[in-house]
Amino acid sequence: MKHRPSLLACATQLPPHYYSQEELLQGLEQLWCSQHFNGQRLRQLHQAMKIEGRHLSLPRLEYLQPSDFSQRNQAFARVSLELGQAAVEKLLAKSRLSAEQIDFLVYTSVTGLTVPSLDARLMNRLPFKTSLKRLPLFGLGCLGGAAGVSRLSDLLQGQPGSRGILLSVELCSLTLQPQDVSVANLVASGLFGDGAAAVLMGPPLEGRPQVVDTRSVFFANSEEVMGWDIGANGFSIVLSPQVPHYAQHHLGPALLQFLADHGLVPADIAAWVAHPGGPKVVDVLQEALDLPAEALAITRRSLTEVGNLSSASVLFILEQFLDQSYSPGSYGLLMAMGPAFCAEMVLLQW
């Protein structure tokens, strides 16, 4: 029988600078008042997100000051290390483990660049053993949380008894492009927030879900749906209005097929750990799978409270599911979409 790693614990960390959506909107209106020909359109886009507020890496007024890619990336290096360390320390304390007991460290982000990568920098902050196996992942976008769980599961299947941590740190606010008044950038400025999450995986533990199977799905010729254009000004968002279409007409059927391959239908899933791409994406996913409203309630609440945290979002949602109790044998499905366009699915069982 195939070894099934378990999701043992999850911990999250938000930066201290929290602002309501209205406060953030007012700052952006000030920033773009001389450039954007239709300020009312900006307000409509932000209100459509149904987000109450978001956490930022820096104080709000600092985003109104001129800065270049180098300065923003330096801020990413500093803040990501602080948040990442806090998330991992919280996870270890919750799990009653020491850093020396961890065998793998997988790190994912798509909002900043550091070499050495954040996982290596953490080696000098926390007492991991020098033989720790590290795997930094970049470029997966919102997919990174689900894909990180899948890849760590792959690693642990070959090392029964080992433990690993997946760390996601996303500082989306540092990618703000003040000179870009495209609809994609205006939408991104109202949708994405900052945060970090860490997940512990290891040998099966009563009351914790095991990974039954994982699946990666790639949708050909969809590179322009989601991603970054990276240039002298840093990360410029690529965000097509076709994302909800892909969620409904491509992701939906792929999810149904994945479940069917295990003799399951959506009604068999007790825990839907779904990444909150945005209100429209959640709506069409619910429609494509014919789910009751309460199935994606935690996803919607996470989006409302902190916004879309890219790869970290699905792990924030996972933490809430791990705090609940499920009957033995109950199924869960963890999933996210990302650039390429692609999706990652993880079938869980308690």
Return the bridge partners of 349, or none.
210, 331
Are residues 19 and 64 located together in one domain of the fold?
yes
Q: Residues 254, 306: one domain?
A: yes
- The pLDDT tens digits for 55-79 are 999 999 999 888 999 999 999 999 9
117 and 261 share one domain: no
Lowest mean pLDDT among 51-55, 236-240, 328-332: 236-240
Does residue 153 fall inside a structural domain?
yes
Residue after which a domain boundary falls, among 167, 184, 202: 202
Residue where a domain stops, chosen among 149, 171, 202: 202
Q: Flag whether 33 is in a domain.
A: yes
Residue 181 pLDDT: 86
23 & 149 share domain: yes
Domain with residue 163: its CATH number is 3.40.47.10
Q: Which amino acid is at 268?
A: D
Q: Do 225 and 193 belong to one domain?
A: no
Q: Helix/strand/coil (H, E, C) string of 105-131?
A: EEEEECCCCCCCCHHHHHHCCCCCCCC
Q: Examine the pLDDT at 86 and tell me if it is beyond 80.
A: yes
Catalytic residue among 10, 142, 172, 342: 142
Question: Does the residue 303 lie in any domain?
Answer: yes
Residue 37 confidence class, pLDDT cut points 50, 70, 90? low
Residue 1 domain-assigned (yes or no): no
Last residue of a domain, one of 202, 233, 249: 202
Whether this prediction's pTM lies above 0.85 is answered by yes
Question: Is the Cα dihedral 13, 18, 22, 24 positive or negative?
Answer: negative
When divided into structural domains, the chain yields a total of 2
For residues 78 and 107, membership in a common domain is answered with yes
Note whether 21 and 159 are same-domain residues. Answer: yes
Claim to verify: residue 75 and residue 109 sit in the same structural domain: yes
Whether residue 176 is found in the same domain as residue 27: yes
- Residue 158: inside a domain: yes
**Range ranked top by mean pLDDT from 54-68, 142-156, 174-188, 221-235:** 142-156
State how far the Cα of 12 lies from the Cα of 167, in Å rounded to an integer. Answer: 10
d(CA 35, CA 178): 10
CA 106 to chain centre: 14
Do 326 and 344 lie in one domain? The reply is yes
Range of the domain at 270: 210-349
One domain for residues 83 and 157: yes
For residue 27, pLDDT over 80 is answered with yes
Within 8 A by CB and 6+ apart from 4, the residues are 157, 204, 210, 211, 212
Q: Is position 33 annotated as part of the catalytic site? A: no
Same domain, 123 and 15: yes
